[in-house]
Structure 1
Amino acid sequence: MQVGDKSLNYSSLQILRLDQNYLGDQLSDSVRSNIFAYLISLKSLNLSANGITNLHTSTFAPLTNLTNLDLSYNNIGTLDIMQSSLTNLLNIDLHVNSIHTIAGNLRIGLEIKAKKRNSTFGIDLRNNTLDYSCENLDFLNWLYGHQRNMKGFELYVFQLSDGKIMDCAWFRNNISHLDANCRSYTLIIVMCCIGISSALATVMGGVIYRHRWKLRYLLFMSRKRFFGYRRLPDYTVIENYRFNAFISYAEDNIRFILDEIIPKLETENVSLCLHQRHFLPGNAISDNIIQAIQSSRKTIVILSEAFLRSKCCMYEFNMARMESIYSRQDRVCLVIVMLEHVPHNKMPLEMLRWIQENSYSEYTHERDGQVMFWERLVSAIR
């Protein structure tokens, strides 16, 4: 005869003792655990010594009038049962089990029900090994705050992370320290992780930013080496450059290029590489710039405030600087022409350092000064 047999009327049953049976497997199974479906009037249920290790959360859901639940002498580790329908459950006997913790929703439910009924709840956790750790801190604090609701609390024991078993007196004296230690360690670990991550990100960002042009240049050269073509060397001349100079300038200075640079230098048989003439349509701008720099003996930067505002111009300057440092064996291939006075505080650090370490030519409108300027520029190119 089964409890859930419809042929029998159990609706008025109030006390049921099922201790010392073997219902553990059935009560943990979601399909077979509904054996109490028709015991709507049940107030006291004894399931002691049934070999229970795990209870399905909805096992006791139909028992809306249940007030006392005896689960002693089993092997339950964590108690987590659906308690929203157990509106009258106030006493749970769990002594002699393997309880480590009690689910938070069950704890809160017991407090709310006791307050509504103007009563108290009671739990018996004697002969259990309660887990004393930071992970179980919420339950331990709740246990400490509800000592009066715990039957035989003086006999409770607690297991530390190293396996040591401590008594109730020790628990009372040390629970406040555990709370402080858990907060401290968590905060320290989080802050250390954030600090280390921030420091590494800052250092890596600084290194990458400092060497950004070098990295871009080496990346381009590696891509060209493996996926591009290589120029065949001409051993009859020192260097086989297609142009004497690549002119890097801002569009705002186009009149100076057309009226001064091109006529003056080409009259001296200086072959020039210019954007408008020699950049191949369809190629990436970065590829055209690198090709122009590597095909020219020198790169002439026409420096102005407009030049500093142009991203393409600054890219040309930095790629020519990298070419001079890493590919020309310390032979300077970058010449700066100061077209107008540019304050040092407007120059990026790379350009300011280059000007301080290398000579540059300053354009002048004086007749005598212009003669010397053009002679020096042609000499620097050749």
Structure 2
Amino acid sequence: MYLLRRHDDRIVDEQHLTYDGYVVYSTDDTPWIIKEVLPNLEEKHGLALCVHERDFDVGGAIVDNIVESVEESRKVLIVLSKNSIQSKWCQFSINYAHRKSLVNGPESLIVILKEEISSRFVSSSIRLLLDPQTYILWPADDEDVDARVLFWERVAARMKGVTGRE
């Protein structure tokens, strides 16, 4: 089970950050996080991710957990979906991460567009994240294995800070 808490106290980089990335997602998208994100980024690419259901301090305030997780992560991976844009906690996480990116640079945010979202549901702050140059679109075709492999390679490269055109 992927949601077991990790106890390895891994140091990610020279700044002694705990995680390579904090993942912002709706709890309604947890099955996709377990099936796709964790195996592809943690297992295949060796990244340490913070996911709220596994890594938040039990009993701690949600706001404190979010702020600490963003602060302890090199990057913030935002999974935008119909579910996440309706979640107040996702909105809070996105706004906090966006504010932090003003100091750390735009490369500290990585946006996955999990599915097409009607513009009528998208707030102005989310609209800023949807510049075609700044997000990676999840391949809709379940049969296109090559597209999904390329997708995870692109996400992992951005998480690791690899630059260059894709």
Matched, 1:274 2:51: yes
- Please name the residue that 2:131 is paired with: 356
- CA deviation digits over 1:12-51, x for unaligned, max 9? xxxxxxxxxxxxxxxxxxxxxxxxxxxxxxxxxxxxxxxx
- Structure 1 SS opposite 2:83: helix
Alignment of 1:1-382 (within 5 A): 238-267=14-43, 268-326=45-103, 328=104, 330-356=105-131, 358-364=133-139, 365=142, 366-382=144-160
Give ranges in structure 1 of 5+ residues lacking alignment: 1-233
Q: Note the aligned Cα RMSD (angstroms).
A: 1.8
Distance in 2, matches of 1:363 and 1:272, equals 19
Q: Deviations over 1:346-373 (max 9, x none)?
A: 1100110232285111111321210110
> Which of the two has higher C-alpha Rg?
1
For 1:375 and 1:264, how far apart are their aligned partners in 2?
9
- Distance in 2 (CA, whole Å) between partners of 1:261 and 1:269 is 12
- Aligned 8 A contact 2:111 2:129 in 1: no
- Go from structure 1 to structure 2 and tell me whether the alpha carbon gap of 1:351 and 1:358 turns closer, same or farther (over 3 Å shift): farther
Tell me the distance in 2 between the aligned counterparts of 1:333 and 1:375: 17
TM-score w.r.t. length of structure 1? 0.36
Structure 2 residue runs of 5 or longer lacking an equivalent are: 1-10, 161-166
The TM-score, its normalising length taken from structure 2, stands at: 0.81
Given residue 32 of structure 2, which amino acid in structure 1 is its aligned partner? Answer: F
CA shift, 1:252, in A, is 1.3
Whichever residue aligns with residue 89 of structure 2, its letter is C
List 4+ stretches of structure 1 deviating above 6 A: none
Deviation, 1:334, is: 1.2
- Percent identity, aligned pairs only? 26
CA–CA separation in structure 2 for the residues paired with 1:275 and 1:298: 15
Cα distance in 1 for partners of 2:22, 2:111 equals: 12
Pairwise CA distance, 1:345: 2.3
